[in-house]
Amino acid sequence: MAKIELTRIPFIKNILKSRYPQLAVFIVMLIGYIFAILAGLIGTPVGSHNFSIVFVWIAWWALLILVAVPFFGRGWCAVCPIPLPGEWLQRGAVLSPPDKRPKWLNLRVPKMFRNIWLQNISFLLLALFSSVLLTTPNITGIVLAAMLFAAIGLSTVFERRAFCRYLCPVGGFIGLYSQTAPVELRIKDKQVCVTCEGKPCYNGSSTGYGCPWDIFPGGLTKNTYCGLCMECIRTCPHDNIAVNLRPFSADLAKPSTRMDEAFKAFIMLGSAIIYAGVLLGPWGAFKDAAYNVGSGAWFIYAVVFLAIIFVVLPGLFTLGILNTKNALPLKQRFASLSTALIPLGLMFWVAFSLSFVLTNASYIIAALSDPLGLGWNLFGTANMAWQPMLTSILAPAQTLVLVGGLIWSARTAQKAAGEVKVSPIPVIVYCLLATCLMLWLLL
């Protein structure tokens, strides 16, 4: 299907090419981020009245998972404040592109870490503590600050954005799911790149920095690791970079064969199912176990959580695809076929988040007036009563999202199965069963 080049429109192109609009957004985001850290640390301990909880876990999360990721892929990474201070420090500049040597150590990340396993682990760590993280302003403040400082630290030791590429717990799943988005950044003409001298998009030039995400834009085939930072639009001397509108999930037509990415899909699918059961279900014992970090019950919860993600879900999946007579190694089939779980997992998260966000969105309006929970009333909305929104369309919306996700993943399974020459049916049945489980948990 045809692509539409958005950067043909001069207005869009100029906005992306100029550093100032992005910088303006960056500054707003950074102020918001630092305010969230402070609010978490000094504001009220009551989560639902603290800016850090309400704006990070309700407002930001809703925008991220319901809008940014499905429609703009890594669009959030284009404006994310977390790597900024480190990046500015590393460059020794906020705006002016470098003619100087890179500062600091500027090491290359060791090969064994150049995958997303660390991101899988950092996500799981947060996931196991999520009940506390989601509800305790202090902890949210500390985690936000820790991410900021980790990013600064890695920027001084390693080259480019090591934190984003290899450690950020959020970046891992944004990258995975960004493959489904209808937006991409790609080169226009391969031939131009072949003959391009010096490859300034990777190495940097007087007009901009070399790709901070350590990829060669000329070779881009997937959204996964392009942070949409727009540097290559600024550096390419041949105007060979385009931002395109394209069909949804175009990247999934060629399945990945990487195990770290395959397990990311299982981690995200499993966490969505577990959260739907533990957080939104009627079972108090699960909530207790998830919340009382360090208790015996919590250890059991953690073990079960990890077992579901690393044993039960991938195990059943493997059993399903085991029988298929095929020349390709099982590992490769496993990785390729797990591509089908990417749209499924994204839609599970959308369905889960719809419920969480619509019931708690009214806190956003109250927290605007009293972000620290100190009794302020800036806009006169501080005492707005809690009121769930749109509860009557929640169930139909969730059905639509989950069944739509199932159709989408079945279609993806058919394509992936075509690539590795096996029947898609076991994977489709797997997706169907997972969807039924999710429907049962949410409806």
Partner 1 sequence: MRPTPNTDRPTSHNLMRFHFSLLLLVTAGLVVAFAPLPAQPITPQERTFEIDAHQFAYSPSEIKVNPGDTVTIQLVSTDVVHGIYVDDYDISVEADPGQSATLTFVADKPGSFRFRCNITCGAMHPFMIGKLTVGSNNWLYRSIGLAALAVLGMTVSRKQKA
The binding site for partner 1 (CB under 8 A) comprises 1, 46-49, 131-132, 135-136, 253, 279-285, 287-288, 291, 356, 359-360, 386, 388, 391-392, 394-396, 399, 402-403, 406-407, 410-411, 414-415, 418, 424-425, 428-429, 431-432, 435-436, 439-440, 443
Residue 164 binds to ligand SF4 (criterion: CB under 6 A): yes
Q: How far is the CB of 320 from partner 1 (least distance, A)?
A: 14
CB under 5 to 8 A by kind: which of partner 1, ligand SF4, none does 196 bind?
ligand SF4
Pair type for strands 4-5 and 183-187: unpaired
- DSSP labels for 417-437? HHHHTS-SHHHHHHHHHHHHH
64 contact, one of ligand SF4, partner 1, none, CB 5-8 Å limit per kind: none
Do the Cβ atoms of 161 and 212 come closer than 8 Å? Answer: yes
Q: Report, in Å, the least distance between residue 196 CB and partner 1.
A: 31
What is the residue whose two structure tokens read 């940097």? 204
Q: Which partner from the list partner 1, ligand SF4, none does 282 bind, CB cut-off 5 to 8 Å by kind?
A: partner 1
CB proximity list for 135: less than 8 A, separation 6 or greater: 47, 53, 291
Site string for ligand SF4, 120-159 (x = CB under 6 A): ----------------------------------------
Smallest gap from Cβ 379 to partner 1, in A, equals: 20
Answer for which of 40, 70, 141, 217 binds ligand SF4 (CB under 6 A) is 217
Cβ at position 215, least distance to ligand SF4 in Å? 5
Q: What is the C-alpha separation between 308 and 271, in angstroms, rounded?
A: 9
What does the alpha-carbon distance between residue 107 and residue 110 come to, in Å, rounded to a whole number? 9
3-state SS class at 191: helix
Nearest C-alpha neighbor of 163 from the set 212, 229, 95, 92: 212
Q: Which stretch binds ligand SF4 (CB under 6 A): 15-23, 221-229, 304-312, 329-337?
A: 221-229
Residue 226 touches ligand SF4, criterion: CB under 6 A: yes
Give 36 or 372: the residue with its C-beta nearer to ligand SF4.
36
Query: Can you read off the two tokens belonging to residue 155?
Result: 């920027």
Q: Residue 357 touches which of ligand SF4, partner 1, none (CB < 5 to 8 A by kind)?
A: none
Element holding 244 (H helix, E strand): strand 241-245
Is 97 near ligand SF4 (CB under 6 A)? Answer: no
Show the DSSP H helices in 162-249 as ranges.
162-166, 169-178, 190-194, 200-203, 231-235
Binding status of residue 37 toward ligand SF4 by CB under 6 A: no
Which residue from 68, 69, 143, 230 is in contact with ligand SF4, where contact means CB under 6 A? 230
- List the structure tokens of 1: 């299907």
Stretch that binds ligand SF4, among 162-170, 332-340, 362-370, 412-420 (CB under 6 A): 162-170
Q: Closer to ligand SF4 by CB, 78 or 416: give it.
A: 78
CA-based torsion, 111, 116, 117, 121: positive or negative = positive
- Between residues 298 and 349, which has the closer beta carbon with respect to ligand SF4? 349
Helix orientation angle between 341-360 and 391-420, rounded to the nearest 10 degrees? 170
Rounded Cα–Cα distance for residues 297 and 127 (Å): 16
Q: Are 212 and 229 in contact (CB under 8 A)?
A: yes
Q: Using CB positions, name the residue nearest to ligand SF4.
A: 171
Binders of ligand SF4 among residues 75 to 94 (CB under 6 A) are 76-77, 80, 82-83
Which amino acid belongs to residue 389? M
The Cα-based distances of 72 to 163, 176, 179, 246, 388 in angstroms read 21, 13, 10, 11, 28
Side-chain half-sphere exposure of 229, counting CA atoms within 13 A: 26
Where on the chain is the footprint of ligand SF4 (CB under 6 A)? 76-77, 80, 82-83, 163-164, 168, 170-171, 174, 185, 187, 192-193, 196, 199-201, 211-213, 215, 217-218, 226-232, 236, 238, 240-241
